[in-house]
């Protein structure tokens, strides 16, 4: 919990308003205000721009680390930091010991507008090429900014309003603490809450969103003994009337029969359009419960409480719900956005190691096609993630959810941009299907598919061999497979042709552009294209 004597450390990119907001915040609290850049300028007797020009960035970063270290015994201060301070691991450790870290976030367009009015930005070239460099720099730093205790979006806020948001956010942060991502979909917008030990406050999280007071908790026979009791108690403590619906565990039960059984339980229990569902479990439970919510009484609200990494970073976010058909996976479904996604990273402690690794494939995907800085962060935090360090898990999950939320907000119904989330899935689904469901976890098949897609991207000139090697190395570090099994090329091509992204024999394939970019190409002769890739692997 934030105490009144704690320091507040403001981080963010150039132009975020750290100094202006910091002074406002210090004035309100009666705190001392410390601008780290001003401390360095005072000690060196020259401006930051002059230090960069004469000594270079590395020398300045060393001065910055030294200045931060001198504040180790400081109390009751608001500290504004430089935009690049988060890049050094030692700095991040010192700031965490020093107080509560607040990230002042803004869009690049907002930041550039603010920087244009300042002449003290050593790295701020606002030309076309300069903006491209700033965008890349922001992407590199973003995962480290995301480690903050509190994130405030400042685009439309004055300094006074931002300070008020910080005070309110810190005052409301009691253990367990939640980090939040918003999925912006107009009237269908909803929050994703991520934290450690927050399962017990699910009921409180639902009380503020006009969520119906009569709920059915849908879970399965594996998850129920672990977490259902805590969730039911949390809901009842918050004033909800809670009933439970227990499903058998397994992909084979993701069928219309299972959904029909849920309808029956709801009807027998007197549930109506003023009721809601809460899905507690992995992707199968979430998909089934979401589809039941989308179709019962022509649609009722629901919340997602995912307990597997794959569900937390992928299936619980974006409103895709559905069931399998004897002729294929997820062929019956609906778009139905949840009211809340509530993620407790402690549920991953009971997840088998193989399931965790499968979820990491989807996490890596986000870095590969959208955020190169996040990919680099993953490379440097492999050990933390493998040992399930809560802080690293929260950052990885929040960053993954942030990326997916941004993509979904731009293309809810997968008419264009959202299709890039299928990176690795076209070939991966074929492998999963032909090998027999259960031989490969979904994420394992996607890992193989990402490797194949990256090799295809290299053939088309979209990435380098070094990019492919980085992907392979990161996948292997999480014990994921990267080589396809021995399968008939003809059968693989036929299975890919049945993919939802295929149209009239032409396959739309998602490729990475370098690391952190994406493109979609139509492959008119997928057989030859795939044969060439498999030849590169020495297996075709």
Catalytic residue among 105, 429, 458, 518: 429
Regarding whether 84 and 164 lie in a shared domain, the answer is: yes
C-beta separation of 489 from 430 below 8 A: no
Q: Which of the following is catalytic: 339, 342, 381, 404?
A: 404
Does 359 reside within a domain?
no
Residue 1: the pLDDT is: 46
422 labelled catalytic: yes
CATH of the domain at 31: 3.40.50.300
Q: Which of 319, 351, 383 is the last residue of a domain?
A: 351
Residues 149 and 199 in one domain: no
Residues 185 and 232 in one domain: yes
Q: Do 135 and 24 fall into the same domain?
A: yes
Q: For a pLDDT cut of 90, what percent of the chain falls above it?
A: 71
Dist CA 283 CA 280 (whole Å):
9
Whole-angstrom distance, CA of residue 27 vs CA of residue 160: 11
214 is catalytic: no
384 assigned to some structural domain: no
429 is catalytic: yes
Q: How far is CA 258 from CA 278, 285, 287, 431, in A?
A: 16, 10, 11, 26
Q: Are residues 195 and 252 in the same domain?
A: yes
Q: What share of the chain is helix, strand, coil (3-state, %, to 5)?
A: 55, 20, 30
Give residue 122's pLDDT: 52
> Do the Cβ atoms of 370 and 280 come closer than 8 Å?
no
Check whether residue 116 and residue 187 sit in a common domain. no
Catalytic site includes residue 320:
yes
Q: For 204-224, what is each residue's pLDDT tens digit?
A: 999 877 899 999 999 999 999
Q: Is 372 part of any domain? A: no
Residue 176: is the preceding peptide bond cis (ω within 30°)? yes
CA–CA distance, 160 with 152 (Å, rounded to integer) = 13
Mean pLDDT, all residues of the chain: 91
174 is known as an active-site residue: no
Residues 142 and 194 in one domain: no
Closest CA to 100 of 148, 157, 162: 148
Residues 143, 43 share a domain:
yes
- Which is the catalytic residue, given 141, 179, 193, 320? 320
Q: Is the pTM of this model over 0.95?
A: no
Total domains present in the chain? 3
Marked catalytic residue, from 179, 254, 398, 442: 442
Tens digits of per-residue pLDDT, 500-528?
555 555 788 999 999 999 999 988 888 89
Is 100 considered catalytic here?
Answer: no
Residue 302 sits in which domain range? Answer: 180-351
Q: How far apart are CA 145 and CA 105, in angstroms?
A: 9
509 by DSSP, 3-state: which? Answer: strand
> Is 388 part of any domain?
no
Residue of 24, 147, 362, 432 marked catalytic: 362
The string of DSSP letters for 516-533 reads TEEEEEEES-HHHHHHHH
Joined together, the tokens standing for residue 347 give 């549920």
Q: Confirm whether 308 is domain-assigned.
A: yes
Q: pLDDT (tens digit, 9 = 90+) per residue, 156-172? A: 899 999 999 998 888 76
Query: Would you call 298 a catalytic residue per the annotation?
Result: yes
At residue 180, the pLDDT reads: 86
**Per annotation, catalytic residue among 97, 187, 268, 298:** 298
User: Which of 125, 155, 174 corresponds to the end of one domain?
Assistant: 174
Out of 321, 351, 381, a domain closes at 351
Q: Is 418 a catalytic residue?
A: yes
Pick the catalytic residue from 114, 418, 458, 518. 418
Question: Helices 353-369 and 390-410 meet at what angle, rounded to 10?
Answer: 50
Query: 207 and 227 share a domain?
Result: yes
In this structure, what CATH number is given to the domain that contains residue 482?
Answer: 1.20.1090.10
Identify the pLDDT of residue 539: 47
Regarding whether 298 and 191 lie in a shared domain, the answer is: yes
Q: Among 141, 365, 398, 425, which one carries the catalytic annotation?
A: 425
What is the spatial distance between Cα 87 and Cα 141, in angstroms, rounded to a whole number? Answer: 7
* Low-confidence residues in the chain, pLDDT < 50: 1, 539-540
Is 358 inside a domain boundary? no
Residue 41: partners with Cβ closer than 8 Å, 6 or more residues away:
47, 48, 51
Asked whether residue 200 falls in the same domain as residue 169, the answer is no
CATH code, domain carrying 282: 3.40.50.1970
In a domain, 314, yes or no: yes
Annotation marks residue 442 as catalytic: yes
Q: Are residues 147 and 190 in the same domain?
A: no
Domain membership of residue 402 (yes or no) is no
């Amino acid at each position: 919990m934030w105490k009144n004597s704690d320091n507040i450390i403001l981080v963010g990119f150039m132009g975020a308003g750290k100094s202006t907001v910091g002074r406002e915040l210090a004035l309100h609290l009666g705190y001392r205000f410390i601008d780290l850049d001003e401390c360095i300028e005072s000690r060196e007797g020259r401006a930051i721009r002059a230090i960069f020009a004469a000594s270079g960035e590395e020398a300045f970063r060393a001065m910055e680390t030294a200045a931060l270290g001198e504040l180790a015994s400081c109390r009751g201060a608001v500290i504004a930091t430089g935009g690049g301070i988060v890049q050094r691991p030692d700095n991040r450790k010192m700031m965490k010991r020093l107080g509560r870290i607040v990230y002042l976030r803004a869009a690049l367009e907002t930041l550039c507008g603010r920087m244009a009015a300042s002449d003290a930005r050593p790295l701020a070239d606002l030309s076309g090429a300069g903006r491209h460099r700033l965008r890349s720099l922001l992407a590199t730093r973003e995962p480290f900014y995301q480690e903050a205790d509190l994130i405030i979006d400042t685009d439309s806020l004055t300094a006074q309003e931002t300070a008020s948001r910080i005070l309110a956010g810190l005052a409301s942060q009691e253990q367990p603490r939640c980090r939040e991502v918003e999925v912006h979909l107009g009237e269908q917008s909803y929050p994703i809450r991520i934290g450690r030990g927050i399962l017990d406050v699910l009921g409180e999280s639902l009380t503020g969103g006009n969520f119906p007071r009569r709920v059915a908790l849908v879970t399965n026979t594996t998850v129920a003994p672990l977490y259902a009791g805590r969730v039911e108690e949390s809901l009842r403590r918050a004033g909800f009337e809670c009933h439970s619906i227990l499903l058998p565990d397994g992909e084979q039960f993701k069928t219309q029969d299972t959904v029909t059984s849920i309808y029956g339980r709801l009807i027998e229990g007197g549930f109506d359009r003023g009721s809601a569902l809460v899905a507690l479990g992995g992707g199968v439970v979430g998909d089934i419960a979401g589809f039941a919510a989308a179709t019962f009484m022509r649609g009722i609200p629901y919340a997602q409480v995912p307990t597997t990494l794959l569900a937390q970073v992928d299936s619980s976010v974006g409103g895709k719900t559905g069931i399998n058909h004897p002729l294929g996976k997820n062929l019956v479904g609906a778009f139905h956005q949840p009211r809340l996604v509530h993620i407790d990273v402690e549920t991953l402690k009971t997840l088998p190691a193989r399931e965790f690794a499968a979820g990491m494939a989807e996490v890596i995907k986000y870095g590969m096609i959208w955020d190169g800085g996040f990919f680099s962060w993953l490379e440097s935090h492999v050990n933390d993630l493998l040992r399930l360090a809560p802080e690293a898990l929260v950052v990885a999950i929040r960053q993954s959810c942030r990326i997916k939320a941004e993509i979904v907000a731009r293309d809810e119904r997968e008419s264009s941009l959202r299709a890039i989330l299928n990176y690795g899935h076209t070939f991966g689904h074929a492998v999963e299907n032909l090998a027999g469901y259960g031989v490969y976890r979904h994420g394992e098949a996607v890992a193989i598919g990402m490797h194949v897609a990256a090799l295809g991207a290299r053939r088309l000139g979209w990435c380098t061999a070094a990019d492919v090697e980085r992907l392979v190395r990161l996948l292997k570090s999480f014990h994921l497979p990267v080589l396809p099994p021995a399968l008939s090329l003809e059968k693989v091509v036929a299975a890919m042709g049945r993919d939802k992204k295929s149209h009239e024999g032409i396959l739309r394939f998602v490729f990475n552009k370098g690391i952190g970019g994406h493109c979609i190409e139509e492959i008119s002769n997928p057989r030859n294209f795939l044969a060439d890739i498999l030849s590169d692997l020495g297996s075709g």
